Structure 1
Amino acid sequence: MEQQPLLKVDNAGIRFGGLRAVADVEMELHAGELVGLIGPNGAGKTTFFNLLTGVYVPTEGSIFFNGEKLNKLPPYKITRRGVSRTFQNIRLFGELSVIDNVKVAYHSQAKHSIASSIFRMPGHFSGEKEMDHKALDFLKIFALESFKDEKAKNLPYGQQRRLEIARALAANPKLLLLDEPAAGMNPQETRDLMKLISLIRERFDLTVLLIEHDMPLVMGVCERIYVLDHGQMIAQGTPDEIRNNPKVIEAYLGEEVS
């Protein structure tokens, strides 16, 4: 029996007024896959991520996660079902400490009640201590434990990127969406990121969907790649198939390939 896809996108799209920003997109991701989503600037990649995470509601088609339709669910409910993401522009809480940025993701899973926190009951302190331990474990994985008390805004850019991924993982996702995680990184930081993405996929038994403009990174870590252009999916396949696909070459070079 064929395994049910973890994520199934069925002819999904969205219109903004008369503009069809994303149209007729189909995609399937199975548990444990590491898949890339590429395309020229303005192709609709981040808009598509916003559809998957409830930031935008599809005006056509359907999105299923673990067999459940996500179309009209708000972002926090989609997160609770196991979909977590990072953003193209880093969205950390700059004034909070590094460890508190990770702990924010744990509060939806907190075992102690709001009342115990308000009245500083024993359950509050034991719950906070447990979250401290979990958050520190994540920071160790990302080599950020020595910065745990530093304000997030004071971290170097590459480490802020790593912290954002750590926070997304702390939400305990089944599907992790990474929106241009290598943006602004130097070549060494990008190589380290490639290793980190593969490590976290295996360690946390994750499915990963990655938007990225850095082609060596995409080709180096992804098993399959989808290509979006002008809001439509124009190709999918292995890295070698995508690398040699005339439609993909045309989309990036802007000229027809004979």
Structure 2
Amino acid sequence: MDELLQAEHVSMVFGGLKAVSNFNLHLNKGELVGLIGPNGAGKTTAFNMLTGVYRPTTGSITFAGKSIVGLPPYEVTQRGIARTFQNIRLFSELTVLENVKIAFHFHVKYGLIEAVLRVGRYFREEQEIEEEAMELLRIFHLEDKADEVAKNLPYGAQRRLEIARALAAKPKLLLLDEPAAGMNPQETHELMEMIRWIRREFALTILLIEHDMSLVMGICERIYVLEYGEILAEGTPKEIKANPEVIRAYLGGE
């Protein structure tokens, strides 16, 4: 399989605190991989390093064969990595449609002058963005909410909108940070089906952090387990379930 992302010997030190140490992870094109671990294990810090929010203290991160260490988040997004957040981060005062349209602007080709004067490619590209954004809203059953202010959506719909916005950036790799947080079992089951579907339809590689073990074990092909900032284990769901170190660290006993 073609390797898409590789993190090697990555560490992140804040003051004297090692949040992540000797972190190694690889993702092949088209994989659906989980990253699990107890609270405070360093999972979100790892995501922040992969997306340019933090610059790692040591180590290398390559994506599609090129280093992304030191790139700001918007450049990492332009390269093809998009993410959602543990705490939903929508533009709460903008409409549902505007939230999705914003992400498409990572890929516009018209220039500043064309935008200011509203000439040339501006109208054509803006019309295409509107159509593509509405299509994404249809996929996520949000088209009837297009003109609603994002903060007024129910929680589950806000989660769907955040994933739709991430997909509008046209990523090759999608990072999902606790997508099932706050969802009931029925919503979680629907989310599992949605993640499977978008991986297939958008030809994506997906890495997800999640505490809901039924979701992780149900959809991931491989799982990494993080403890105290270090990779404790890596393997298939079956291997992870049977790993005594994982049982001790994550489940707290036999």
Structure 1 CA distance for aligned equivalents of residues 93 and 2 of structure 2: 42
Q: Please state if 1:252 is matched with 2:234.
A: no
1:198-237 → structure 2 map (5 Å cutoff): 198-237=196-235
What SS does the aligned partner of 1:6 have? strand
Aligned pair partner of 2:116 in 111, 115, 118 = 118
Letter in 2 for 1:57: R
Structure 2 CA distance for aligned equivalents of residues 168 and 92 of structure 1: 11
Report the alpha carbon displacement of residue 254 of structure 1 after superposing the two structures with TM. 3.7
Structure 1 CA distance for aligned equivalents of residues 42 and 174 of structure 2: 19
1:101-180 → structure 2 map (5 Å cutoff): 101-121=99-119, 123-180=121-178
What SS does the aligned partner of 2:182 have? coil
Letter in 1 for 2:40: G
Structure 2 CA distance for aligned equivalents of residues 173 and 108 of structure 1: 11
Report the alpha carbon displacement of residue 187 of structure 1 after superposing the two structures with TM. 1.2
Deviations 1:52-71 (Å, cap 9, x if unpaired)? 00100011111111111111
Determine the structure 1 residue equivalent to 2:97.
99
Letter in 2 for 1:88: Q
Deviations 1:237-258 (Å, cap 9, x if unpaired)? 1111111111111112445x5x
Letter in 2 for 1:131: I
Runs of 5+ unmatched residues, structure 1: none
Report the alpha carbon displacement of residue 122 of structure 1 after superposing the two structures with TM. 5.2
Letter in 2 for 1:116: E
Report the alpha carbon displacement of residue 111 of structure 1 after superposing the two structures with TM. 2.6
TM superposition score normalised by structure 1: 0.96
Letter in 1 for 2:178: E
Report the alpha carbon displacement of residue 173 of structure 1 after superposing the two structures with TM. 0.5
Runs of 5+ unmatched residues, structure 2: none
TM superposition score normalised by structure 2: 0.97
1:7-86 → structure 2 map (5 Å cutoff): 7-86=5-84
Structure 2 CA distance for aligned equivalents of residues 21 and 207 of structure 1: 26
Structure 2 CA distance for aligned equivalents of residues 98 and 229 of structure 1: 37
Deviations 1:184-223 (Å, cap 9, x if unpaired)? 1111111110000000000010000000000000011100
Report the alpha carbon displacement of residue 17 of structure 1 after superposing the two structures with TM. 1.0
What SS does the aligned partner of 2:3 have? coil
CA RMSD for the aligned pairs? 1.1
Deviations 1:136-156 (Å, cap 9, x if unpaired)? 111111111111111110100
Report the alpha carbon displacement of residue 113 of structure 1 after superposing the two structures with TM. 2.1
Report the alpha carbon displacement of residue 73 of structure 1 after superposing the two structures with TM. 1.0
The aligned length equals: 254
Report the alpha carbon displacement of residue 25 of structure 1 after superposing the two structures with TM. 0.9
Letter in 2 for 1:182: A
Determine the structure 2 residue equivalent to 1:88.
86
Letter in 1 for 2:241: R
